[in-house]
Amino acid sequence: MNPEPFLQLDRIIHEKGRLAIMSMLAASLELSFTELRDLLGMTDGNLTTHIRALQQEGYVAIAKSYQNNRPLTTCSLTVAGRKAFAGYINLLEKIVRQNKPK
C-alpha cells in the first residue's frame, strides 16, 4: 500500500473533533457556536479550543454580532478552509480507492 496519501493528510483537520466541525461548516454557510456545540455534543471549552486551532490555521472565520440584544457568535469556513477540506476529502477517497481489491 502506498503510504503517500496518508502522509499528505492535513494534521489540523484530521483530528476527530476538528474534522466534525469542518464537516458541519462545509455543509452550511455558517453555524452559530451553540448550534455547533449542540450538534456535536461538545463542551464549550472543547469546542472553543478546536475552533481556535482552526481559526489560527485560517480555516474558520468567527463573526460576533448581536441578535435581540444578545451576543451571537457565528462560525464559517474561509476559502482556505473549504479548499483544505476538499483536499482532505480527495485524499481520503484516494486512500479508499487504493485499498479496494482489484
Partner 1 sequence: MEPKWAEENLQTIRTLMERSTIYRRALAPIMLFAGALGVAAAAIGLLFHLDSSRQFGVLWLCTAAVVVVGAFLIARRQAIKDHENFWSPPTRRVAQALLPAFISGLCLSVLQLLHEADPEVPKFIALIWIIFYGLALHAAGFFMPRGIKLFGWAFMISSLSLFYILGFFQINFDLSAHWLMGFFFGVLQLAYGAYLYLTENGKNAA
Q: Which chain residues interact with partner 1 by CB under 8 A? A: 1, 3, 6, 19-20, 23-32, 34-35, 38-39, 67-68, 70-72, 74, 89, 92-93, 95-96, 99
**Rounded CA separation 51/55 (Å):** 6
Residue 66 CB, shortest distance to partner 1, in Å, is: 10
Residue 27 CB, shortest distance to partner 1, in Å, is: 4
For 51, other C-beta atoms within 10 Å of its C-beta total 22
**Rounded CA separation 79/58 (Å):** 9
Residue 19 CB, shortest distance to partner 1, in Å, is: 7
